[in-house]
Chains A and B, each alone.
Chain A
Amino acid sequence: MSWEVVIGLEVHVQMNTATKAFCGCSTEFGAEPNTQTCPVCLGMPGQLPILNIEAVQKAVLTGLAIHATINLESKFDRKNYFYPDLPKGYQITQLPVPIVEHGYLDIPSGDGEKRLGITRIHMEDDAGKSMHEGLDGISHIDLNRAGVPLMEIVSEPDMRSADEAIAYLKQLHQLVLFLDVSDANMEKGQFRCDANVSVHHPGTPFGTRAELKNMNSFRFIKQAIDYEVGRQIELIEDGGKVALESRLFDSAKGETRSMRSKEEANDYRYFPEPDLPPLRISQEEVNAIKAGMPELPGQLRKRFETEYGLSVYDADVLTQTRELAAWYESLAAAHPADPKRCANWLANELLGRLNEADCGITDSPVSPESLASLLDRIADNTISGKIAKDVLDTMLETGHDTDTVIEEKGLKQVSDTGVIDAMIQQVLEANPDQLAAFRGGKDKLFGFFVGQVMKVSRGKANPGLVNQRLKVLLKS
């Protein structure tokens, strides 16, 4: 009998607010340890949390973008557990009534799309950071991250393969970046994922799931799920049973291993957070947030196809990030004659060179206006497309503008008939045998003469004009 894989994902997204969820401490990444804390986020007695309005708005915006229900009244609860990086002894989260419920994302699947349900998004606060490496018998605790606002985005168990899980995660990652609700840097732990994985035979109830914890790279998530699926199938086929437990992915060994028995840790003794009354927001506030919704990746992609006539592929490449899409739009505005040429030069030439230099589009030494002027020089035949690539290299190296580089390197295309005629004359005199053969009826030699003239001009002669003048002069 065949096996079916069932995957549900819980994604923790750190919101990019300036301050923490419940106090006015900075959330800036990379500060000196424990310099961004206060009695509230340190869990000192007698302190009261006050919720950050920006965190509420970002959660609502995300909910609207996944077509979800926004609960105008939601509640906060305490999840109790003991760990040194959790100074309060509990996490403030939302259990029975989260701010967002019942949404979905559509991911590309075959020729069409597959709709994946999102159960809920709730707000909660992050824990601090524990460090163990190179320490003997002790751990170090930095509480700068304690209290930073998180959204936990919980999907339905709708994914049927590791590839679907990755497609969902990539789309969600792109979405939170476009919405500017998170910086979503995976290496910094701002976008991390738990995967609930089980296997069963189609038509039978779902199997017992294992929870793969805290993964922060797409590659590792795929490896971890694939490994876990294989482990579960083998276990069941050998007569064993999958245990309901948390497992950690060991990226060095490429396998998952049991973290701890969940029975003890699972007893979180949730109860309503007495320090926080219900969170109420009005429909008017929700509408205002909706009105400020930026263009989403799918809409942007479709607009690039219709407005600029781009291929599906180019539109997809150029809408990977908001910054890149904005860069393209500036370029197309500065070189309106040919949006496709803009797309080709940005996607194939500039991005390729920037990637090689490990440079992001926002740090490009060549501006959209500068690249547009290079495309203008191709369009008006000042330089050929081939030479333009060399000019772009030099622009990237020196930071000089198009016309300066063309001038400095003497790359201007030669379109002066007198100069081209002189070059042709020189070529004809240097190749009397070929000339005689051509005039004797060997038409194929025309290409040879074009090549020779281009060589004499060191690639700068206007090829159209060379053709035109050669036809005249070869016959005379």
Chain B
Amino acid sequence: MDIDVQKVAMLARIRLTDAEANELGPQLSNILGYVDQLQEVDTEGVVETAHPHDAAMPLRADVVTNTNRREALQKPAPKIESGLYVVPKVIE
């Protein structure tokens, strides 16, 4: 199976050199080929597995439990202005 490694890398925002892409391409193809074997299993009449654990989702009451921890939470951010995260200009 051929994979456009550079496209996948771009979608994941990972920068790869051509050498890295050439090395990763066959590896990813091997993984997909391995997983592809599953396609050979006859799943007629088998209910799709939604999640590996057969658990139903726990739900949470609609009650505010979090307080304002802006200062602590913004510590890792490279730049803040008046409580707002600053990022390079993004606009369409």
Q: Does B61 contact A (CB under 8 A)?
A: yes
Q: Does A34 contact B (CB under 8 A)?
A: yes
Chain B: CB-nearest residue to A20 = B66
Residues of A within 8 A of B53 (CB): 277
B45 shortest CB reach to chain A, Å: 18
Chain B: CB-nearest residue to A131 = B84
B65 touching A139, Cβ below 8 Å: no
Q: Does A356 contact B (CB under 8 A)?
A: no
Cα–Cα, bound, A50→B86 (Å): 29
Q: Does A472 contact B (CB under 8 A)?
A: no
Residues of B within 8 A of A461 (CB): none
A132 touching B83, Cβ below 8 Å: no
Option from B13, B59, B83 in Cβ contact (under 8 Å) with A82 = B13
Cα–Cα, bound, A37→B59 (Å): 20
Q: Does A142 contact B (CB under 8 A)?
A: yes
Interface of chain A, main secondary structure: loop
Looking at the complex, which of B15-23, B24-32, B33-41, B67-75 is the stretch in contact with chain A? B67-75
Interface of chain B, main secondary structure: loop
List B residues 42-92 near A (Cβ within 8 Å): 50-51, 53, 55-66, 68-70, 73-74, 81-92
Q: Does B1 contact A (CB under 8 A)?
A: no
Interface size class of A (residues with CB under 8 A): 35 or more
List A residues 35-70 near B (Cβ within 8 Å): 35-39, 42, 50-56
Chain B: CB-nearest residue to A278 = B50
Q: A18-B62, A138-B86 are in contact. Are A39 and B56 (CB under 8 A)?
A: no
Residues of A within 8 A of B86 (CB): 138-141
B85 shortest CB reach to chain A, Å: 4
Residues of A within 8 A of B57 (CB): 51, 276-280
Cα–Cα, bound, A260→B90 (Å): 13
Q: A33-B82, A280-B57 are in contact. Are A138 and B87 (CB under 8 A)?
A: yes
Counting chain A CB atoms within 10 Å of each CB, the highest count among B13, B53, B61 belongs to: B61
B73 shortest CB reach to chain A, Å: 6
Residues of A within 8 A of B73 (CB): 34, 37-39, 42
Q: A42-B73, A82-B13, A272-B51 are in contact. Are A139 and B88 (CB under 8 A)?
A: yes
B63 touching A84, Cβ below 8 Å: no
Option from B56, B70, B88 in Cβ contact (under 8 Å) with A137 = B88
Residues of B within 8 A of A75 (CB): 50
Residues of B within 8 A of A132 (CB): 89-91
Cα–Cα, bound, A279→B63 (Å): 20
A25 shortest CB reach to chain B, Å: 5
A165 shortest CB reach to chain B, Å: 24
Q: A34-B83, A132-B89, A267-B11 are in contact. Are A277 and B51 (CB under 8 A)?
A: yes
A116 shortest CB reach to chain B, Å: 30
B66 touching A38, Cβ below 8 Å: yes
Q: Does A459 contact B (CB under 8 A)?
A: no
Chain B: CB-nearest residue to A56 = B59
Chain B: CB-nearest residue to A260 = B92
Residues of A within 8 A of B81 (CB): 140
A228 shortest CB reach to chain B, Å: 17
Residues of A within 8 A of B61 (CB): 53-54
Residues of A within 8 A of B65 (CB): 19, 24
Can you offer 27 A-B residue contacts whose CB atoms are under 8 A?
A: A18-B62, A18-B63, A23-B66, A24-B65, A24-B66, A26-B64, A33-B82, A34-B85, A35-B68, A35-B83, A38-B73, A39-B73, A42-B73, A52-B59, A84-B85, A140-B86, A142-B85, A143-B85, A269-B11, A276-B51, A276-B57, A277-B56, A278-B51, A278-B57, A279-B56, A279-B57, A280-B56
Given A38-B73, A137-B88, A140-B86, 5 more pairs with CB closer than 8 A: A19-B65, A37-B70, A80-B11, A84-B90, A132-B90
Q: 3 nearest interchain CB pairs?
A: A24-B65, A54-B62, A140-B84
